[in-house]
Structure 1
Amino acid sequence: RALTNIGNLLLETGEDEAAEGYYRRALDLNPDYPGAHHNLAVVQRRQRKLGASVRSLKTSQRLAVRQASAQGREDAKER
């Protein structure tokens, strides 16, 4: 998450390429982190890489749903 946050700061200052690098580094460490995929989609959209942006956004959404479902199953087991 720290790498993603650095990417967010860079994105806010208009350093899109540097931000993308941090998001990709975060995904190298944790490819199942939906937040990094979502932020990568944002920077790709700003760079007009629309196809890549849509793929990153879909990956983010898919991972978020999968993780929420897994958390729901764990919560149900605890009851």
Structure 2
Amino acid sequence: MKLTSRLKEYRARERISQSELANRVNVTRQTIGFIEKGTFSPSITLVLKICHEFDCRVEDLFTLEDESNE
């Protein structure tokens, strides 16, 4: 299973840079970039902080996909 996100889409819609979001949730800009690329799976705490920033549900922003379907 692989965690995928719509983080980049949400950031673009709200016109928030990676750096700005990173500052808001207390991580590095690189961490936000890695989440967007799918190369880093954030902790549940970080997931909840990000969802709080966008006032959305976890399911709206993150999904778990079966890697065998790729």
**Common fold: TM-score over 0.5:** no
Greater fraction helix: 1
Give the TM-score taking structure 1 as reference length: 0.31
Give the TM-score taking structure 2 as reference length: 0.33
> 1 or 2 for the larger relative contact order (CA 8 Å, sep ≥6)?
2
Which has the higher Rg, Structure 1 or Structure 2? 1
